[in-house]
Structure 1
């Protein structure tokens, strides 16, 4: 039976009984209940027995607990009495012996002062003896003996801090140290130059003992600097037949080899100093003091090499490889890591000779790109060949630009990005000039009569220009993304190594403008030039297409065109409109306009992103049309129609005199043109519609029915028709 629930604080008797009888058999419920009662009685007996045993044990142990408690209480009282006695004795001793202890303390203090005074007098006497002995030791020029004497004087001076002439003695000691250093310097230089470990260790021990170890380190650094500078000069003399690049590679290898050698030797001699920090200072000084400098050698080589950018890339790669190798060696040092400022100064010295060429990168890149532009060979003897060559050159031009972008990254780590943009602008502007030359050739070949070959050349040139703009947009996007990456790459470190302060400000300004979105176009001048070029090509194309129309319209202002209607009787004012037929000039214009869409179809009635881009750049009107097929062709026809209406109006207004029959004929010509326009989905200009209406009006009704038309046109038609004003 589980009786654990009896120990619960919220035990419910009824619930327990109901729960335990829940699964009991109905027939055997009585016997089951009796069994439970018997078990519970047994449990009660067991609990009573356990309680009785526990009570007996407690009663048996109570007397012992009482005795132990009583004994403990008595011992606590006894201890308290003893502590009171000890405290009283201590207070009595303090009262009786307080003055004696003070006297003893004073005597001890006097004793200490007497000992110090005695030592001071002894050291003062020792100082005098050491000074007198030093003159004889200096004459012997024995560095070890001199250092021992100076060390003794140094120890004496520590005990003479409170003497009146302490500062004078201190200066005297420094002077003696200087004399020792002057005597030892030739031997120090010889020991360092010959890598005499034993002798060098002796000087380290001596200079450390007299507090002059920093001066000894300067001797070492100067010796190492002189050795490395001499190696550079000797190398140039020995390797005169080698290239400048080979000189630099060999010297970098010499420096790396020297680092390993000096690192081991330094740790043997200057045990307590950092070899890496000292060698970093030496190499930084050496690379900044080479004679002749790296710049002088590179400048001389640049005058001889044909490909300056490739040469500069090799120079930069050599410096980068040397830097990486040296920094890797330094990072593997088991000693304390060098200061980051030291590492930066070392890298600054390694790349210092490249700063000049990063500054001049723009001019080098421009010169190279100009050669690439000349090699395109787009200008041919025949105009169609020239335009075809321009179209075929576009992929090459894009490749040249992307190669320049890659060179900028390789040579300048993108620090020359401002110079790259200048070079690309110059190159692309030069490339756009080739299109200008082709356009001028088209202008020279343009004729007044119908010439669809020239029209096709214009459209091909326009399409090529649009393709250049599309490629330029992709290039500019890549350039912009590259600028956005500049601060998230190693360029952030290189810009401090390769740029002067003024160039650094310009570089950071470029990055800031692009990052903040204030500068939308990196090649804005090129984009503007190409847009203007497209506008000029479009204008030339329009002139080519409009030339036949203009020539046909020239007959309108000729008096001979209209005089034939003065003497003929058939052109009576009362004849119906269908009696008139359009004249030849207007039918020729109509026929020309009807075949114009056929010539536009190869260019404008199909998906042509390049031509579409060029037209939108040339004329804002093209940018507002839908993307459906033929929309651009409709805009071009609209522009031609608008020009036709304008020139037709101008020619009509230049007519001096019109008879009634001529006036109706001219109105019929205008109506014919209107029908042609309607066939093409175009509309006649408002001025031409007004002229047509004014030309049809009977003379006697002219004044009353001309209202609503332009006053200028009303007056002009009245004058050419010789209609008298009612006023």
Structure 2
């Protein structure tokens, strides 16, 4: 019997014919089609019977279960209606109970308010009664000399007055209380001085509690600071005492003695201050366990505030001591910047180095103080460190001016004087020497700029980076301006100072002849070699400034990272957001960020904003740290290229200056009675001189190209450099020659023959240099070498395919050939 898959009959798009064909395809070859179809039909009929029986059975079962399901649904609906009614009844009961409860609660709240008012009124009456009693008995308390009891009495009176409020009947009591507090404060003062002087810890703590009880803790701070600031000021005044003693000793002995300098004395002063503060810190830990973290730092802040003006003056004089001229006049950096000195007195690097040295000493002291006061709040640390660095703030404000003055002075000492015209035969030497000075000055100026960056980091930690960038840019402009002036003097030495005005018209005939005759071939090439060396100056300046700008961007990036961290830390202590456990890490970060730059910038928000804008811009790869310098360097390179080109083309311009007016163009062959052989024309001297110069020029360029490329570039790039300049000069020579050809007014057949030979020679030179022959030149040569009677046919047959027709017409005009016939 055939097995039938009935699932295919339920598929969408079932095709009976295809199914039968498929079934026939699966029959055994030995089975006949009739028998196979009979078996298949029997299988289908049996399957249909089975399906019919199953369907009838399932239908009977379904009819039997439907009445039962209907009864269950009706019962569930009745239960749901009953439940809804019950819930509605419960909600109504709850609403009634809620209304009753709200009224009860409101009544209780009103009763509680009345009770509180009654209690407050009772307390106020008690306070008023007690205040009257205290006011009457306070004198007896003071007379007993019991200061703690007096403090407690005054504190109670203060509490009673605050509870009573502004009542006119007790106005006199308020005045009495203020007088009594001042009186108690005065009674405590001598005991406090004695306790502090003799280190009586218990007495100090008792007196502290008294002052705190009456709200006069600031009196304790004031007295503590006043008492301890005296020995600290005495340490500062010790320097003047030593100076006076040294002066008296010199006067008595009559010998020359070197007085102690402030820079050598300052570290010892800081050491003594630190030792004193360490002892106070240790004692205050036991005497003022709740206040020592702010009390001792405040002592240092007040001390530095008292010494600030004197400190600034001493620092200023100390910066002048390192230079004999300013030391003799007892003047310093600020005096020079203010114009109090003569114009000949310039700010020197030594002045700023002395200032940085003093600042570094102060920085060491500040780090020791930060370590000593590490338990103090960030706000306290911030104000303390600010006071330590405060004497240098006036110097930092003028940092940009200082750098400009120093760099200007140092640049004036670099030998980049202009060239001086010498006699014939010495121009090449003068040119070479001047170029050498220019090239040697570039690394010198970069070293000076790098030193300025180091000074800025050492002195300001980058807070004055914006002013430094402006100063460096200005100094570079000054330096490049000096280079430009030197280039102008080189034009005269190279003999091209007037070439720019005569490029179109050419040199005067006599002048050109004089130059050609006087200047030797060797001297010409020495000038060319010297001019080519100027390219190394431009290349060196471009590469060095580019590298320096890259290092500046890297420096700005480091400053930006450091300052971002520092300002973040400083903002923490301003917001006092470092007291909870979750901010412990932030507190540590802020504590580590109390550096010089952050301390300076916290008081100058506008400057900080300006600096951060600069640091943000420096992240852009297109950013120029020295924008004006970048433009001037490019302009300088263009000027150098122009000068070098003028020098390289100068000889060509001289040789070709009179080509259009040569007499040979209008010469006529003299008639002869005897037949003479015809000779081919040879190129003239002017064109052979130009050709030899062009062919020799690559040999002059290759050593320079290798020198400029160095080890950084390949030989291909060096060759490209030489080829580029070779093409530039050859194109210029060709343009000059074509311009002269356009200036010829008339040419005879003999002249045409000669000019054709000259053009052919120059074309051969250009081909040897792998230069394309301009169509103007090839047309000129073709039209000159063609006999007069064949010109018309030549133009007619060419039709502008190979020849430039305007140029051909120009040649015909010069040869006096009429084309209209």
Q: Distance in 2 between matches of 1:470 and 1:587?
A: 39
- Residue of structure 2 in register with 1:719 after alignment: 813
Q: Distance in 1 between matches of 2:215 and 2:660?
A: 109
Structure 1 segment 530-541 matched on structure 2, within 5 A: 530-541=633-644
Alignment CA distance shift 1:153-1:317 (3 Å) = closer
- Residue of structure 1 in register with 2:226 after alignment: 223
- Residue of structure 1 in register with 2:211 after alignment: 207
Verify: 1:550 aligned to 2:653, yes or no. Answer: yes
- Residue of structure 1 in register with 2:282 after alignment: 264
3-state SS of 2:616 partner: helix
- Residue of structure 1 in register with 2:408 after alignment: 370
Alignment CA distance shift 1:224-1:327 (3 Å) = farther
Alignment CA distance shift 1:568-1:669 (3 Å) = farther
CA displacement at 1:314 relative to structure 2? 1.1
Q: Which has the larger radius of gyration?
A: 1
Q: Distance in 2 between matches of 1:390 and 1:657?
A: 50
Structure 1 segment 645-664 matched on structure 2, within 5 A: 645-664=734-753
- Residue of structure 2 in register with 1:14 after alignment: none
Q: Distance in 1 between matches of 2:141 and 2:717?
A: 108
Structure 1 segment 486-505 matched on structure 2, within 5 A: 486-489=559-562, 492-493=565-566, 494-499=596-601, 500-505=604-609
CA displacement at 1:480 relative to structure 2? 1.6
Alignment CA distance shift 1:195-1:242 (3 Å) = farther
Give CA deviations for 1:264-296 in whole Å, capped at 9, x if unaligned.
33334334x230222223323432343524333
Q: Distance in 2 between matches of 1:432 and 1:610?
A: 24
Alignment CA distance shift 1:446-1:326 (3 Å) = same
CA displacement at 1:641 relative to structure 2? 1.3
CA displacement at 1:352 relative to structure 2? 2.5
Alignment CA distance shift 1:638-1:318 (3 Å) = same
Q: Distance in 1 between matches of 2:189 and 2:549?
A: 65
Give CA deviations for 1:388-427 in whole Å, capped at 9, x if unaligned.
3444455444433333332222222122323333343344
Q: Distance in 2 between matches of 1:359 and 1:165?
A: 52
Verify: 1:419 aligned to 2:467, yes or no. Answer: yes
CA displacement at 1:585 relative to structure 2? 1.9
Q: Distance in 2 between matches of 1:161 and 1:386?
A: 89
Verify: 1:387 aligned to 2:405, yes or no. Answer: no
- Residue of structure 2 in register with 1:515 after alignment: 619
Which of 628, 632, 640 pairs up with 2:721? 632
Q: Distance in 2 between matches of 1:548 and 1:230?
A: 79
Q: Distance in 2 between matches of 1:602 and 1:265?
A: 78
Q: Distance in 1 between matches of 2:691 and 2:233?
A: 91
Aligned partners of 2:128 and 2:164 also within 8 Å: no
Give CA deviations for 1:52-93 in whole Å, capped at 9, x if unaligned.
xxxxxxxxxxxxxxxxxxxxxxxxxxxxxxxxxxxxxxxxxx
- Residue of structure 2 in register with 1:132 after alignment: 136
Query: What TM-score results when the alignment is normalised by the length of structure 2?
Result: 0.63
Aligned partners of 1:706 and 1:714 also within 8 Å: no
Deviates more, 1:639-648 or 1:652-661: 652-661
Q: Distance in 2 between matches of 1:137 and 1:175?
A: 16
Q: Distance in 1 between matches of 2:483 and 2:141?
A: 92
Deviates more, 1:254-263 or 1:125-134: 125-134
Verify: 1:439 aligned to 2:487, yes or no. Answer: yes
- Residue of structure 1 in register with 2:373 after alignment: 330
- Residue of structure 2 in register with 1:85 after alignment: none
- Residue of structure 2 in register with 1:145 after alignment: 146
Alignment CA distance shift 1:675-1:223 (3 Å) = same
3-state SS of 1:681 partner: coil
Which of 655, 664, 668 pairs up with 1:561? 664
Aligned partners of 1:204 and 1:269 also within 8 Å: no
CA displacement at 1:647 relative to structure 2? 0.8
Aligned partners of 2:134 and 2:157 also within 8 Å: no
Give CA deviations for 1:118-147 in whole Å, capped at 9, x if unaligned.
9977x8776545433434665x5x7x4365
Q: Distance in 1 between matches of 2:635 and 2:320?
A: 39
Aligned partners of 1:553 and 1:647 also within 8 Å: yes
Give CA deviations for 1:176-220 in whole Å, capped at 9, x if unaligned.
542324533652674377355365344224224x34252333333
Aligned partners of 2:404 and 2:475 also within 8 Å: yes
CA displacement at 1:491 relative to structure 2? 7.7
Q: Distance in 2 between matches of 1:257 and 1:246?
A: 18
Q: Distance in 2 between matches of 1:133 and 1:174?
A: 13
- Residue of structure 1 in register with 2:540 after alignment: 467
Verify: 1:690 aligned to 2:690, yes or no. Answer: no
Alignment CA distance shift 1:711-1:350 (3 Å) = farther
3-state SS of 1:467 partner: helix
- Residue of structure 1 in register with 2:301 after alignment: 284
Alignment CA distance shift 1:428-1:192 (3 Å) = farther
Aligned partners of 1:387 and 1:438 also within 8 Å: no
Aligned partners of 1:480 and 1:522 also within 8 Å: yes
Q: Distance in 2 between matches of 1:129 and 1:136?
A: 12
Query: What TM-score results when the alignment is normalised by the length of structure 1?
Result: 0.70
Give CA deviations for 1:140-186 in whole Å, capped at 9, x if unaligned.
5x7x4365245246457868997798893873674254232453365
Q: Distance in 1 between matches of 2:642 and 2:712?
A: 16
Q: Distance in 2 between matches of 1:612 and 1:663?
A: 52
CA displacement at 1:457 relative to structure 2? 1.1
- Residue of structure 2 in register with 1:401 after alignment: 449
Give CA deviations for 1:537-556 in whole Å, capped at 9, x if unaligned.
23222222222222221231
Aligned partners of 1:154 and 1:173 also within 8 Å: no
Verify: 1:410 aligned to 2:458, yes or no. Answer: yes
Q: How many residues in Structure 1 have an aligned counterpart in Structure 2?
A: 585
Which of 183, 197, 201 pairs up with 1:194? 197
5+ residue gaps, structure 1: 1-109, 332-336, 614-624
Alignment CA distance shift 1:455-1:180 (3 Å) = same
Q: Distance in 2 between matches of 1:505 and 1:163?
A: 51
Q: Distance in 1 between matches of 2:277 and 2:542?
A: 55
Q: Distance in 1 between matches of 2:488 and 2:737?
A: 28
CA displacement at 1:598 relative to structure 2? 2.5
Verify: 1:596 aligned to 2:700, yes or no. Answer: no
- Residue of structure 2 in register with 1:238 after alignment: 241
5+ residue gaps, structure 2: 1-114, 244-258, 324-349, 421-429, 496-514, 567-595
CA displacement at 1:506 relative to structure 2? 2.8
- Residue of structure 2 in register with 1:584 after alignment: 685
Alignment CA distance shift 1:215-1:438 (3 Å) = closer
CA displacement at 1:310 relative to structure 2? 0.8
Give CA deviations for 1:459-479 in whole Å, capped at 9, x if unaligned.
222223312322333222222
| Superposition CA RMSD, Å | 3.9
- Residue of structure 2 in register with 1:178 after alignment: 181
Aligned partners of 2:494 and 2:647 also within 8 Å: yes
